[in-house]
Amino acid sequence: MSRVTVRVPAKINLQLAVGPLRDDGYHELVTVFCALSLWDEVTVEGSSRTLITVDGENAAAVPLGPDNLAWRAVELLAAEAGREPALAVHLHKGIPVAGGMAGGSADAAGALLAAATYWELGLPRERLLQLAAGLGSDVAFSLVGGVALGRGRGERLTTIETGGTCTWVVAVAAGGLSTPAVYAEHDRQPGPAGPPEPSAAVLGGLAGGDPYALAAAVSNDLQAAACRLRPELARTLAAGRDAGALAALLSGSGPTCLFLAADAMHGARLASMLSAAPGVRRVHVAHGPVPGAAVVPGG
């Protein structure tokens, strides 16, 4: 095999319930992840040393050294397999960079799967998921895809069956927002004490495949904190509601905003209205759930 390409989806959180800060610096979460049809492509091939290159939207904002989770994924897998981490990793970005859609985690998941395939390691899927969970809170979900309930810091996953696919308009903001900064701002005005619970309304809306039921149920505990840090986000969310979105929701820790549409036609209309909204740099129409990381045949 001269090279391997893996395609990995973005994620959104249909519920993001943030519990107490733990001793390890992470927050206890209950979250409902959904994989969305914006994709990064991760290609690996042989090299004398670890090397990262990037192209696609906002590629200049992606770190090229050990700060990149894909780099750490290659090093981790090489240590696991007892080999030199000699791989060139090329990232083709379709997921907004630093947007709260797990783009960095997707690249780590893609690099793990691509490198394991390239080196023909034959690792059990369970082991790959364990390695993924050690790299970051969202990396295991990027491998699994679909819809899953996440607990712990988001890495303990239970797959959820759903009754259909929903259309989402994704409004990408100019610039990123730091995930630790948004969690820290949340901690200044935390919600109710005690461990969060999965939302029966979100799970029911997903089971019925009903966008209206889902719209009434989606929630993100980080939304208020992100809007305090970046007040323009509240205006973007309001613009989507005014344009007729069934729901307006911050994606993860932001600053990307999500708007649920009734169907694909409605999504296209919303997207054209939102492209002129305050603070919106770019708009995508996407659908989910979609499958997790997968090797592209012949890629």
Q: Among all residues, which ones are annotated catalytic?
A: 11, 138
For ligand C5P, give the closer residue by CB, 27 or 284. 27
Q: Is 186 in the site for ligand C5P (CB under 6 A)?
A: no
Of the candidate spans 19-27, 77-85, 190-198, 224-232, the one that interacts with ligand C5P by CB under 6 A turns out to be 19-27
As a whole number of angstroms, the distance between CA 192 and CA 28 comes to 13
Of the candidate spans 23-31, 121-129, 192-200, 219-227, the one that interacts with ligand C5P by CB under 6 A turns out to be 23-31
Among 7, 11, 27, 230, binds ligand C5P (CB under 6 A): 27
Q: Is 251 in the site for ligand C5P (CB under 6 A)?
A: no
Among 11, 90, 92, 153, binds ligand C5P (CB under 6 A): 153
220 in Cβ contact with 67 (< 8 Å):
no
In whole angstroms, the minimum distance from the beta carbon of 103 to ligand C5P comes to 11
Within residues 201-240, the interface with ligand C5P by CB under 6 A covers none
Q: Is 11 in the site for ligand C5P (CB under 6 A)?
A: no
Q: Is 136 in the site for ligand C5P (CB under 6 A)?
A: yes
Among 15, 137, 220, 236, binds ligand C5P (CB under 6 A): 137
In whole angstroms, the minimum distance from the beta carbon of 219 to ligand C5P comes to 16
Q: Is 151 in the site for ligand C5P (CB under 6 A)?
A: no
Of the candidate spans 24-32, 88-96, 198-206, 280-288, the one that interacts with ligand C5P by CB under 6 A turns out to be 24-32
For ligand C5P, give the closer residue by CB, 16 or 147. 16
Nearest Cα to 233, choosing from 255, 263, 218, 259?
255
Q: Is 138 in the site for ligand C5P (CB under 6 A)?
A: yes
DSSP states of the chain as a string?
Answer: --EEEEEEEEEEEEEEEEEEEPTTSPEEEEEEEEEEEEEEEEEEEE-SS-EEEEEETTGGGS--STTSHHHHHHHHHHHHHTS---EEEEEEE-SPTTSSS-HHHHHHHHHHHHHHHHTT----HHHHHHHHHHH-TTHHHHHHBSEEEEETTTTEEEE---S--EEEEEEEESS---HHHHHHHHHHS--SSS-----HHHHHHHHHT-HHHHHHH-EETTHHHHHHH-THHHHHHHHHHHTT-SEEEE-TTSS-EEEEESSHHHHHHHHHHHTTSTTEEEEEEEEE--B--EEPTT-
Q: Is 7 in the site for ligand C5P (CB under 6 A)?
A: no
In whole angstroms, the minimum distance from the beta carbon of 250 to ligand C5P comes to 15
By CB under 6 A, name the binding residues for ligand C5P: 25-27, 29, 136-138, 153-154, 179-180, 183
